[in-house]
C-alpha cells in the first residue's frame, strides 16, 4: 500500500493551503457520543453493562476490580515485565517530580499575593484496552497524578473478550498506585467518570488517549470535568528523513504509530526522491509481514503521506503545519533543526531516538496532543492535575496607596459598591 505522494517544493507560505488537513468529527460520531453520554447519565451502571455488551461484545456482572485483583496480577506477570514496568514508572515519576510547581509569594507596596498550588482530589485515567493492552498508558496517566498529589486515582479500561482486564495492565495499575479500576471503555467510560454512576464516583479531571469516540466524549464533557487542552486521539507521526537516513529505520518508525489503528497519521517528509521511493517500498514490506496488518492498512489508507520538499528547513515548515503528536528528525545533525520546530507534541532527535523510546521509558509523557492541537497544547504533565489559587493580603497602607486607583476604575465602570468597599476602609 503506497503512501499518498505530495510534492510541495516551492510552495513556501502556501503550505497551510496545500497540505491535507485533519477531518472534522463526523456528525454521526457526535450524535453517537451524545447518545452514550445521555444513557450513562440516565441509567448509571446499568448503562455501562449494556454498552459494554453492545460495543465490546462482553457480558459482565460488575465493572469494578478490587485491590486484590491488582496484587494478584502483579504477582502473575513475568519478572522481566514487572521490572520493565517498575523502571518505566520510576523514570516517569522522576521526570514529573522535576516538573513540580512550587508555591511562591509576590510582595509589593503593602500587598502580598501568595500562590497556592493544590492538586485535584480525584483524577480519572483512561487507557485503551479490549483487544489490545497498554500498561504503559496506565503508568503515564497515573504517575504524574500521584506526583501532583492527587488523593484518589481512578482507571477505566475496556474489558477483553473474556470480560477481564489483562495482568500487564493491572500490574501497571498496582505499581502506579491506582485506587480504583473499572472494566469499562469508550465514550461510556468518559461519561461515567465525568458524571458518576452507582459504582464510579465522578472525578475532577480526565486524562488519557483513545479513539475518536473517546476524544469526542472528552470534548463533550469538558466543562463538567477538567480535560487537558489537548484531546489525545489516534496516533500521529511525521518522520523527517534525509538522503543518508537508514531506510529501514524510517520505514519501521512510520509503522510504529500506524499500527495503533485507524484515523491516525504517518507522514514521511524528505528532500530526496530516491529516499522517498526506498522508504515507501520498505514500508510496503513491513505492512505485508506485520501481525497488525489490518491496523497498518487502515491508518495508511487514510493518513499515510510521502511528502517531497526542497530541504531540511522546508521539512520542518511542513511539520509545523501538520503539528504532529510525534516528530522524528532521523538525520545526524537533527539538533540544529530544533530551533525551527514550532508545533509538535514531542520531538525525537537523530536516528538513535525512536518515538518508541518516548512511548515507554524516556521519562516524559506519551499522552500527547493530536489532531493539530500541538499548536496550542502540550504533553500531559503533573500541571494538568493541579489548580493555582492566589491569596491576596493587604494592609492599611496599601489601601491608602492603591485605593484611589481602585475607586477610579470602579467609578469608570459604574460599580459603586466596588468603590465603596475601598472608601469604607480609608
Catalytic residues: 325-326
Starting at the edge strand found earlier in the chain, the sheet holding 304-308 runs 4-7, 304-308, 265-270, 236-241, 326-330, 346-349
Q: Which residues make Cβ contacts (< 8 Å) with residue 43, sequence separation at least 6? A: 50
Name the strand (E) or helix (H) holding 326: strand 326-330
* Cβ neighbour number for residue 239 with a 10 Å cutoff: 31
Environment class of 10 (CB within 10 Å of its CB; exposed 0-12, middle 13-18, buried 19+): exposed
Q: Which grid coordinates are listed for 417?
A: 459598591
Cα torsion through 199, 201, 207, 210, rounded to 10: 30
How many residues in the chain? 426
The whole-angstrom separation of Cα 282 and Cα 188 is 40
In 3D, which of 319, 308, 253 has the Cα closest to residue 275?
308
Grouping H, G, I as helix, E, B as strand and the rest as coil, residue 280 is helix
Q: Residue 340 in contact with residue 314, Cβ under 8 Å?
A: no
Residue that the C-alpha cell 522524528 belongs to: 328
Amino acid at each position: 500500500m503506497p503512501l499518498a505522494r505530495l510534492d510541495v517544493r516551492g510552495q513556501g507560505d502556501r503550505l497551510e493551503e496545500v497540505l491535507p488537513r485533519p477531518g472534522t468529527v463526523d456528525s454521526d460520531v457526535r450524535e453517537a457520543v451524545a447518545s452514550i453520554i445521555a444513557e450513562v447519565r440516565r441509567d448509571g451502571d446499568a448503562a455501562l453493562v449494556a454498552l459494554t455488551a453492545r460495543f465490546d461484545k462482553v457480558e459482565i456482572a460488575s465493572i469494578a476490580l478490587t485491590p486484590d485483583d491488582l496484587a494478584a496480577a502483579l504477582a502473575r506477570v513475568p519478572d522481566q515485565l514487572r521490572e520493565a514496568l517498575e523502571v518505566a514508572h520510576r523514570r516517569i515519576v522522576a521526570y514529573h517530580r522535576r516538573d513540580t510547581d512550587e508555591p511562591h509569594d509576590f510582595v509589593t507596596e503593602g500587598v502580598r499575593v501568595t500562590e497556592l498550588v493544590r492538586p485535584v482530589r480525584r483524577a480519572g485515567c483512561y487507557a485503551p484496552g479490549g483487544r489490545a493492552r497498554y500498561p504503559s498508558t496506565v503508568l503515564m496517566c497515573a504517575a504524574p497524578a500521584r506526583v501532583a498529589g492527587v488523593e484518589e486515582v481512578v482507571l477505566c479500561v475496556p474489558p477483553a473478550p473474556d470480560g477481564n482486564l489483562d495482568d500487564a495492565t493491572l500490574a501497571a495499575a498496582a505499581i502506579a498506585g491506582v485506587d480504583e479500576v473499572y472494566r469499562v471503555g469508550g465514550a461510556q467510560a468518559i461519561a461515567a467518570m465525568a458524571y458518576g454512576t452507582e459504582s464510579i464516583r465522578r472525578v475532577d479531571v480526565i486524562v488519557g488517549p483513545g479513539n475518536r469516540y473517546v476524544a469526542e466524549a472528552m470534548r463533550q464533557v469538558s466543562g463538567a470535568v477538567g480535560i487537558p487542552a489537548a484531546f489525545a486521539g489516534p496516533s500521529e507521526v511525521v518522520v523527517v528523513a534525509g538522503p543518508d537516513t537508514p531506510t529501514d529505520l524510517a520505514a519501521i518508525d512510520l509503522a510504529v504509530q500506524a499500527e495503533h489503528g485507524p484515523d491516525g497519521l504517518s507522514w514521511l517528509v524528505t528532500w530526496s526522491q530516491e529516499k522517498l521511493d526506498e522508504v515507501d517500498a520498505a514500508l510496503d514490506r513491513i505492512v505485508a509481514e506485520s501481525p497488525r496488518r489490518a491496523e497498518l492498512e487502515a491508518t495508511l489508507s487514510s493518513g499515510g503521506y510521502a511528502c517531497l520538499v526542497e530541504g531540511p528547513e522546508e521539512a520542518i515548515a511542513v511539520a509545523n503545519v501538520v503539528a504532529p503528536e510525534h516528530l522524528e528528525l532521523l538525520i545526524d545533525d537533527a539538533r540544529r533543526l530544533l530551533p525551527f520546530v514550532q508545533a509538535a507534541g514531542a520531538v525525537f532527535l537523530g536516528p538513535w531516538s525512536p518515538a518508541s523510546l518516548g512511548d515507554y521509558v524516556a521519562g516524559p509523557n506519551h499522552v500527547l496532543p493530536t489532531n493539530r492541537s500541538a499548536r496550542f497544547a502540550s504533553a500531559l504533565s503533573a500541571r494538568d492535575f493541579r489548580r493555582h489559587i492566589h491569596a491576596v493580603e493587604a494592609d492599611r497602607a496599601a489601601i491608602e496607596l492603591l485605593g484611589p486607583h481602585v475607586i477610579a476604575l470602579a467609578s469608570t465602570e459604574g460599580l459603586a459598591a466596588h468603590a465603596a468597599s475601598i472608601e469604607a476602609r480609608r
